[in-house]
Structure 1
Amino acid sequence: MAVGPSLRQLHAHKAIHNGGMAGAVSKTDQVLECLENGDTELANALADDLLQYWENRIIGHADAEEEGFYREIVKGNAYMQETITKLTRDHDLLRIIVADIHQLRQSEGLSPEVLHKLQSLIVVNEIHSRDEERLLF
């Protein structure tokens, strides 16, 4: 798959990460605020939107990286395979956490464990983005 220029340039790639993270944090805060205000119906609707955001925006970006950008890096620099494997594992962790949240919400609703996992997505993505920017550019 051809890689677009925004994935290859640090400033553009960092802007993608920052924009994605800002949206995830804002949407997570909205869920928490609704729960604090006792509006569980709206909190659940916002949680649905938040998970869709993680799947489409953040994990969608991860998929694009893996399908093109990461392959391009390894093709030109075989010594980068271990780094790419580690960064791909970060993406896998995001996918696993999102799947866990979906499953937990079916049985527990917006439980404390679900809220904890929503926060963990932010932490994992923050560390991943910083490492990716440092190691690949």
Structure 2
Amino acid sequence: MSGPALRKIDSHSAIHEAALNEAIELTNLLDQLVIKEQHKKALEVGYILVEQWETRTLRHAEEEEAGLYKEIVKDNPDLQSEITALTRDHNLLRIIIKDIKEKFNEEKTISDNIVQLFQSLIIIDELHNQKEMEVLPEH
């Protein structure tokens, strides 16, 4: 069973918004550091950003998948395809984070490509959050 904050649209939306806004701010900072060629600081922010995605967004995703999504499908089996798509979004986020971490280990620096990967996480998460809010009211 999922926690009450996940089942209430306003609080669930606030969770998404807070995590996403934090990710956007950190990504913008990362981009500026890369542009200014402040590589050491950029790498530090990059590691913080990975941790932020893992502890805020992906941990939240795990909670949704373990409880909320199962409850939604149990109550309304017609939403299975929407829940499958939302879970796929989570998997895309996980794949990109894994790719970023591998690039960190290989390159030991932050490239424009890594900044673009972080920006892609934001786009996926924004679209995911919009769709999830469409599904939740039906729950």
Give the TM-score, by structure 2 length: 0.93
User: Relative contact order (alpha carbons < 8 A, sep ≥ 6): 1 or 2 greater?
Assistant: 2
Sequence identity, in percent?
Answer: 38
Code of the aligned partner of 2:112: P
1:26 maps to 2:25: yes
**Residue in structure 2 matched with residue 13 of structure 1 by the alignment:** 12
Distance 1:26 1:115 in 2: 13
Moved over 6 A (4+): none
The number of residues matched between the two structures is 136
1:61 maps to 2:39: no
Unaligned runs of 5+ in 2: none
Give the SS at the match of 1:27.
helix
Q: Which moved more, 1:25-34 or 1:120-129?
A: 25-34
Superimposed CA distance per residue, residues 80-126 of structure 1 (whole angstroms, 9 cap, x where no aligned partner): 11111010000000000000111122223312221111100000000
Deviation at 1:36, TM superposition (A): 2.3
Give the TM-score, by structure 1 length: 0.95
Deviation at 1:38, TM superposition (A): 2.3
Deviation at 1:35, TM superposition (A): 1.8
Distance 2:70 2:16 in 1: 19
Give the SS at the match of 2:110.
coil
Deviation at 1:25, TM superposition (A): 0.3
Code of the aligned partner of 2:69: Y
Contact 2:33 2:41 in 1 (8 A): yes
Deviation at 1:74, TM superposition (A): 1.0
Contact 1:59 1:95 in 2 (8 A): yes
Equivalences for residues 1-137 of structure 1 within 5 A: 2-108=1-107, 109-137=109-137
Q: Which moved more, 1:107-116 or 1:58-67?
A: 107-116
Q: Which moved more, 1:69-78 or 1:48-57?
A: 69-78
Contact 1:105 1:111 in 2 (8 A): no
